[in-house]
Structure 1
Amino acid sequence: MGKLISGRQFLKVAIILIAIVSIGLFIAHTDFITLKRQLQQVGFQFIYILLLTFTAYFIGTIAWWLCLGRQRKNTSLLQLFAIRQVGETLALYNPTSVIAGDLLKAQLLKPYGINQEIALKSVTSSRITATLSQISLFVIAMIWLLADTGHRPQAKELTWIISATITILLLIKIALFIALSRSVDHVPIKDDSSIWKKTITALSITFYNCKIFFQQDKKNFWYSYLFFALHWVIGSIELYLLLLFIGYPIHIMDGLVLDMSIIVIKSIGAAVPGQIGIEELANKITLDMIGIKNATLWISISILRRFRQLIWCVIGLLLAIFLKALHGQSRVKQVPLSTD
């Protein structure tokens, strides 16, 4: 057990060091005057980025709300939006990533009279519908990248990698939907005897919950799927706008290519809190992938996206304080007055 934990910690440190060294080399060749000018070009237009990300987050909230079934009437979309932001803030900087965030979301639904089993099913099912819609958009983005080779010549090796990735993802998606359609088996038994078994059990329970949701409430499953697809598409416009503001107009589909590719690269370093270094490296790699090889642009994009992230993290923390205070007041009101 100790060796396994040490191995994981070593891997995490190795990933961070590789990312930091790579970024350090890039920064050493950065033109800081150009960097300053690029950031100034965005200026107060950054408010559009915040409004855009709010829209994407709110649509993501609707997608989750649909997974709550009949108990969704117990809470409003604004309350659920606050809970989602708190959970996503924890997920961003917690080593256990989305697991910690999703568990917190389920916990925060308690005061609204939502059954904990339903709450857990909703967060796990929404995570699956989000992932499935993300896979679809990633495939579409990669097909676009291949189709656009006439305007943007690519290495033969990259073309083969993209083609293989599309094929593998399509096969995975078909296999998942076949598995979701099969009859429901027995409930997975929780096993915490090792990290490996604990992870496998958690994934089994997640898939089991989604299977029930898919088979018993297909309508809301597909609505959630579509709303998450819209959530990802709107979120990808952030990169399109940032590049436009800085003076590098791209096709709106390139924004989807960038965003989906960055998410995939970031998922590799999911255990690294905040994906520090990983996200910055992802920005550099993906911009190169669509043919933008500016030495300072990827740093400008990284700074602006981190700033947006920081603002939403602060909002998430404020919402956490607000929810705690609100639930505290509710408990006080529920205490019966003495008649003595």
Structure 2
Amino acid sequence: MKSVSAPAGHRAAPGAAPGARPLLAAGLLLLPLLSACGEDHVSRYPQTTFAPTTEMGEIQIGLFNLTLWLGVIVGLLTFAGLGYIMWKFRYRPGAPEPKHVHGNTTLEVAWTLIPALIVAVIAVFTVQAIFATQPPPPANALNVRVIGKQWWWEFQYPVNGGRDTVVTANEIHVPVGQPVHLLLETDNVLHSFWVPQMGGKRDLITNRVNSLIFTPREPGVYLGQCAEFCGDSHALMKMRMIAHTPQGFQDWLNNEASPALEPTDSASAVALGKKLVTTGVCAGCHVIGGTPMVGRTGPNLTHFGRRRTLAAGIVENNAANLHAWIRNAPAMKPGSLMPQLGGDIPNALTDEQITYIVAYLQSLQ
């Protein structure tokens, strides 16, 4: 008997029956998903919402999972019913036409009540989550004022019973185990505060103060950003939330409340940089505690050297990046209010002067 080979392009895998081809293809599609299960999810996706570290985040992911699994169940039942109907009433030569079921009251009531019941269940849990994630601020909460800028973040901490204020930028520090109450506002356009592992987004609206309350549970560094389109450098408006142990947070706060350290050698690059910063163009926009600088347009630089990033989290805080930022900030962040200070412009700072400024700013620990 003459054998018949499969058409070109439709050969089964060696050792596999023709009916196994769909299963083999499905297995190949699932391999990337299965291989990803063994990897560290947070390291691959540092702004994931699926690894919450606060009670607010856990409530939100719980509501998401409820909606997801109800949707999966509805989808599976729908496709199962569709598959049964396609098989049961498939075309067969000589078979009579199936009976019509138009006007089946039981069926119509079922497909109306079941979705309504599912939506009602989701609505109940949604309302509970809304109230649970917007409670009144606890008496022991740490109050932090958050101000959205163009395009960076300012964080203000009241100290000494509210008589003084610690001001920092682009890195918000919080203690583990203590409720944190963020007072969110903007001094320009709309922004949206979002640290995914801490909880949901909350808008910063002009002439209004919004509130966000959560309790960090694990020390670590959590990445965040603006989640509301706010202009040219919206995607470059990043931040970091650093969760400390209670003692670690208190140590950080005490250091931030102290003035900047003075250079020990008056002839050093640091001392030359301080003179350029405190008496030059920088003084018009920035504040450094313990110096005559009183500018309020740009970030507070009192302890700038301790920050891990600059330009609102877009680059590492090192000498090379800081030099490039001072020389031509708009080239790194379009639309930034930080002007170009070096290069081919009138009265530009020389590269040597910028090097001195970098040395001073990095000394501000």
Question: What is the TM-score when the length of structure 2 is the normalising length?
Answer: 0.23
* Higher-strand-fraction structure: 2
Greater CA radius of gyration, 1 or 2?
2
More helix by share: 1
TM-score between the two structures when normalised by the length of structure 1: 0.24
